[in-house]
Chains A and B, each alone.
Chain A
C-alpha cells in the first residue's frame, strides 16, 4: 500500500511502495501505457534508422566481400535488431532502451533492483505475444490496464515493472506561513495532520476561491467558514509544523 507523508492511502496514484532490506520504504512511480507507447515509437524509429544506415554500409561492403556475405550480414543485423535490441539494452547498466531513456523510464525488478539478463530476455521475447493482434499491441495494453503496476504479459512473467527513472519533480507551491499559529484544540490523527500539511504545501497552486472551498470542508475543526476558516486552517498547519 502506498503512503503519503507516512500515512497509508489506498491507490491514490501510481506510486509503488517497496520495503528494502534496510528497513525503509522507497516509492517507485510505475509508468503507464501512454509514455511507454511514445518510448516504443522512438525505439522503432531508431531501429529503422539503424537499418537504413546499415543498408548503405552493406551496399558499399558488398563491393569488397561479395553479395552473398553482405546479404548474410544484413540478415544477422536484422536478427539482432528484431530479437536482441531491447534485451541487450534493458539488461545493461542503465536498464532502459534508448527510447525509454529519452522518456525518462527504466525497467526494474518489482523489488526495485536492476533486472537480470534472463528477466530482460523473457519480457522482450513476450513482445511477440503482447504485440498481438498485430499491429495493435492489444494483449499488452489489456494486460497493463488490468493490474496496478501497468505490467504487460512479458512483465508479469519476468516479474519486472517499468518505472520513472528519476521521479518527476512535484509541482508544489506553498502558501506563505500564517501570521499566527493556533492550536487545533483537539487531538488530530496522523492522517488529519498530513492532510493539513499537504493543504499548506500545495495551496499556492489553487485560486483563492478553491482554497476557501476546500477549507470549508474542515468547518468542524475551524468552526468558521470562508476566509476566516482558511486563515484558521493555515494557523493550525503552522502550529503543527512548529511542534516537536
Chain B
C-alpha cells in the first residue's frame, strides 16, 4: 500500500479523532462522550507505528506523531484529590519525611545552633560593640533599639496604626518564606549555599541575642519572639534539610547514575520544603497578628513553650502508627 492510499483509507478516522481531541482540549470531558477516545487513540498509535515502518514519509509521520502526543496528554492526566492529599501530607507525609532524614536534621540544627550559641556567648563575655556592629550593621542596631529598647510595650505601640499587623504579616511571608526557598535552592551548589545561609543566620541571630542582652530589654525581646520562634526556626532548619538533600543527590549518587540520583533527591526534598513553607507561613501569621499584642509576659512565655512542645511532638510522633503499619506490610509482603 502506498502512502497516499493509506492516508485516503484512514483520513476519515483521523479527522474524527482530531475533532474529538480538539473538543476535549477546549471544553473538557463534559462536552461529549469520551468513551471512544482511548480506542481511537490506540488505533492512531498503530497507524503511527505502521507509517514509520513502511516509510510513508516525514510529513505523515509528523502528523501522526503530533496526534499521538495530543492524545497522550489528554489520556494520561494525573488524578486530583487536592484536599485529601493536603490532609495526608500534614498529618502523615511531612512528619514522616522529617523523621526519615534525622541525620540531616542533626547536621542542619548544629549548623544553625552552634554559631548562634557561640556568637551569643562571645557577646555576653566580651561585650564589645565593634564586632557586634560588624555583624549587624548600624541600621539594624537602631531598629533593635527602637523595638526592644525598653520593656514598656514598644512593639505593640509601633503596631498601633491601622493595618500595620497585616503589613507585617505580608512582610514576613515575603521575607521569611523567601529565605526558606533560597536556603533550599542553594543546596544544589554542593550543599554550600544551604550551609552558608544556615551558618550566616546562626551568626546573625547570635549577634542579635548578644546585643539585646547587652543594650536592650530582654523581656521585650523574648515576649515578642516566644510565640512564633518555634515554627520559624524549625521551618528554617527543615528548609536546610531539603537543600542538603538535593546537594547530597549531586555529591553522593551512590550506585545510581547522576541523573537518577538528582531526580530521586528532588522527589525526597519536596515534602520537606513544602512543610517548611507551610510552617513559615504559620509563623508569619503568629508574628504578624499575635506576637506584638500587649499581654502579660507569663502568658506569652507559656504559649511559646506550648507551641514548641506542639511542634516537637507533632514532628516526633505524627503518622508514626501509619508508617509502622506500612513497614510491617512491606515486610510481610516480602516474606510472602
Contacts and interface: CB of A to CB of B under 8 A. Distances in A.
A164 B61 CA distance: 17
B293 to A, nearest CB: 17
A186 interface: no
A156 B76 contact: no
A169 B62 CA distance: 8
B178 A79 contact: yes
Interface string B38-66: 00011001101100110101110110011
Interface in A141-188: 147, 153, 156-159, 166-167, 169-170, 172
Contacts of A71: 167, 170
Interface string B170-183: 11011001100110
Contacts of A53: none
Interface in A1-22: 3-6, 20, 22
A122 B182 contact: no
Contacts of A241: 2-3
Contact of A112 (B69, B163, B269): B69
A105 B193 CA distance: 31
Contacts, number: 154
A68 B163 CA distance: 5
B170 A129 contact: no
A66 interface: yes
B263 A167 contact: no
Interface string B150-175: 00000000000111101111110110
Nearest to B59: A172
A27 interface: yes
Question: For chain B, what secondary structure do more than half of its interface residues adopt (helix, strand, loop), or is it mixed?
Answer: helix
Given A66-B162, A169-B62, A170-B59, A72 B45 contact: no
A20 B68 contact: yes
Contacts of B76: 113-114
Contacts of B270: 118, 121-122
B163 A172 contact: no
Given A68-B162, A68-B167, A69-B167, A129 B41 contact: no
B189 A132 contact: yes
Given A76-B174, A170-B62, A125 B185 contact: yes
B205 to A, nearest CB: 22
Contacts of A197: 55, 57
Contacts of B68: 20, 24, 26
A156 B41 contact: no
B188 interface: yes
A75 B173 contact: yes
Contacts of B69: 26, 28, 112
A159 B166 contact: no
Contact of B41 (A22, A126, A127, A128): A22
B184 interface: yes
B174 A75 contact: yes
B319 interface: no
Interface in B268-300: 269-270, 273-274
Contacts of B167: 68-69, 71-72, 75
Given A25-B49, A121-B274, 4 more contacts: A5-B58, A79-B170, A114-B77, A156-B259
Interface of B: 1-3, 41-42, 45-46, 48-49, 52-53, 55, 57-59, 61-62, 65-66, 68-69, 72-73, 76-78, 161-164, 166-171, 173-174, 177-178, 181-182, 184-189, 193, 246, 249, 259, 262-263, 265-267, 269-270, 273-274
Interface of A: 3-6, 20, 22-28, 65-69, 71-73, 75-76, 78-79, 82-83, 112-114, 116, 118, 121-122, 125-129, 132, 139, 147, 153, 156-159, 166-167, 169-170, 172, 193-194, 197-198, 201, 240-242, 244
The 10 A-B pairs with the shortest beta carbon distances in the complex, nearest first, are: A157-B266, A68-B163, A72-B170, A72-B167, A69-B163, A128-B185, A24-B45, A6-B52, A75-B170, A68-B167
24 contacts: A5-B52, A20-B45, A23-B45, A26-B68, A26-B72, A68-B161, A72-B166, A72-B167, A75-B170, A78-B174, A83-B178, A113-B73, A114-B76, A118-B270, A121-B274, A129-B187, A156-B259, A157-B265, A158-B263, A158-B266, A167-B62, A240-B55, A241-B2, A241-B3
